[in-house]
Chain A
């Protein structure tokens, strides 16, 4: 399915990359005044924002009309691991309720973690010139060495976070 989306966008003369939208959103907020990086005609990226709008609608459809249960069937080892970190919802939910239930917004620590996670994703995606869709799918499909380096970076970062930093955070 993902490859079909890639193919469709290529055949429409576009490319598949979701994180560019974050830059477009910055430009829409008026960031063009602060850095040349945001000075471009956002209308050329309008098509991609529409894909984002579609992705939101798709999420709604997927969650409300196409799912009886959204519990993720994780590896039992992963579940017991997560429970030891205090994620009691592992194995029974789609996202950890400790982080993504609306009530989790009452936890100061949780808000900080969510903002930090977002900050790293946004900063890293632009620094590396792409995210999972732009590098791991589009870039690697086109056999681009830079994308391979970026994907190796994704894994160094992800493994560090989960194996070294998680035990300190939770």
Chain B
């Protein structure tokens, strides 16, 4: 096993980031060299088979109710054991709330190098080392990083920065269900409760995002924006100006001090496109901007720009979209 990917699941399914990590691994090595580690409980067997058929030679599943949610000690203990057993050259995880906590904790324990939030990976021809490229300083620069000596070479990968691997493209994967020994499950965290959020509003996984800026003018104008987001099946995001005014919660903030997103479609309404905001969204596939100021910086990034008053555009746009029927 050359590459070990750290898959993620909920109680129903293997999550999309896992398939994206698989795409990354397949670009580096053949399927025979790819292993995946999955921690969780209660998943139907078909989910494992489906994931394996997207190109995982060896899928190792540790099942326990106590692995349903991330806790540093158990997750790290299992990863360390797997690295000791399979000696992968490369370990890839998602730049998710889980991966961004799990990998640094384990990297310290293993004395491994770790690169955060990569958007590109490659192999250096001469040395066979992993080249990890990531945005830094708010996306102003890109840095390529390698880990010459320490093993494994570890990286977290920005969600939605590549396509998901297709299931059914490969056969012959081995699936192994394991039970973690109780000693590994010891942790200083004890769970008190969990409240699920509406996934359709979850920014980081959203394929489409409607973002409002200060051009919104008043919170009373939000319902129209929400209606548009609903019609497009998009999650709602905001600039810091909007969050600081308390019009939307911090979980909606996109940018340097908020979330980083890579959706298929970003629609910015009344967003100026300050560099700190761009840091969180410039990797979007398509960018559309509506702004009353023809000089707005977001326009320089947009595939489609509309100079106009968003309060005037919204009702017309909504009725046009409705007229055309379901999207």
A binds B: no
